[in-house]
Amino acid sequence: MVSANKEMVVYCFDALVAHYNSEEAPPPAFDAGQHPLFVTWKKELNGGEPRLRGCIGTLEAHCLINGLRDYALTSALRDRRFPPIQAKELPYLECTVSLLTDYEAANHYLDWEVGKHGIIIEFNDPDYNTRRSATYLPEVAANEGWQKIEAIDSLIRKAGYNGPIICKSFHHHSVPPYKIKIYRLSLSPYGGATARRRRVDREKMEAEEGDGGVRLGDAVYGVCG
């Protein structure tokens, strides 16, 4: 089984730095494989706890080399909740690679553990007669201090359902969530001794790009948090 490792996180930084320098990222130092994956960027502010700056991934298995490169950029530049990450933020960034493994169908909508399992929920929207789905990575419910039902209700809202949630009917008629285990590793900062040192143009580090500049191709993705 493939586990997230330092080289994968370094490769995500390499891909982002290469983007700012308009060049190709150097070859990765890990073997190719296929996994569903998420790339998360956080930024340290004033010595406090790092705060989320972007997190996007896919629930479909992707080639790790292409997938990590693509989602490193997508999560940094196209997470609609945040402005695109700018080059000058690099010294303050933390990156986490999450590889999703061991999908297991739950027997019941409460058959999972907060902080241990990620969850995916699918259900029919009774108002629009359409299928909806959403996912949370394992740390989301724990970080928010949610109990299981609170997490499921939030996930239903995240999927885009705005109608009333009646626990005894809605929950029991939705498909039980899948439980996910995750192999992950964080690295911060990129300029540390454990990462390859690559120089970003000082002009680009100091430049203010109001619209983030780069536009990536459309992709189907899931968003964490």
Q: How many domains does the chain have?
A: 2
Host domain of residue 145: 110-179
Distance CA 171, CA 3 (A): 34
Q: Within this chain, do residues 120 and 194 fall inside the same structural domain, yes or no?
A: no
Q: For 82-91, 129-138, 209-218, which range has the lowest pLDDT when averaged over its residues?
A: 209-218
Whether 67 is covered by a domain: the verdict is yes
Whether 213 is covered by a domain: the verdict is no
Whether 27 is covered by a domain: the verdict is yes
Closest CA to 106 of 159, 171, 161, 61: 171
Closest CA to 123 of 161, 164, 180: 161
Whether 208 is covered by a domain: the verdict is no
Domain harbouring 76, CATH code: 3.30.700.20
What is the side-by-side strand order in the sheet with 175-187? 130-136, 118-125, 175-187, 93-105, 34-43, 51-63, 222-223
Average pLDDT over the chain reads 76
Residue 41 has pLDDT above 80, yes or no: yes
Residue 45 has pLDDT above 90, yes or no: no
Q: Within this chain, do residues 118 and 46 fall inside the same structural domain, yes or no?
A: no
Q: Within this chain, do residues 89 and 191 fall inside the same structural domain, yes or no?
A: yes
Q: Within this chain, do residues 60 and 1 fall inside the same structural domain, yes or no?
A: yes
Question: 175-215, pLDDT tens digit by residue?
Answer: 445 555 555 566 665 554 333 444 444 344 444 333 332 22
Burial zone of 168 (CB within 10 Å; 0-12 exposed, 13-18 middle, 19+ buried): exposed
The arithmetic mean of pLDDT across residues 156-160, rounded, is 85
Residue 47 is predicted with a pLDDT of: 79
Q: Within this chain, do residues 128 and 88 fall inside the same structural domain, yes or no?
A: no
Residue 190 is predicted with a pLDDT of: 56
What letter does residue 92 receive in the DSSP assignment?
Answer: G
Whether 36 is covered by a domain: the verdict is yes
Q: Within this chain, do residues 68 and 167 fall inside the same structural domain, yes or no?
A: no
With contact defined as beta carbons under 8 Å apart, do 183 and 98 qualify? Answer: yes
| Residue with token string 């909806």 | 132
Residue 219 is predicted with a pLDDT of: 29
Single pTM value for the model: 0.71
For the chain, what percent of residues have pLDDT higher than 90?
27
Q: Within this chain, do residues 92 and 116 fall inside the same structural domain, yes or no?
A: no
Residue 98 has pLDDT above 80, yes or no: yes
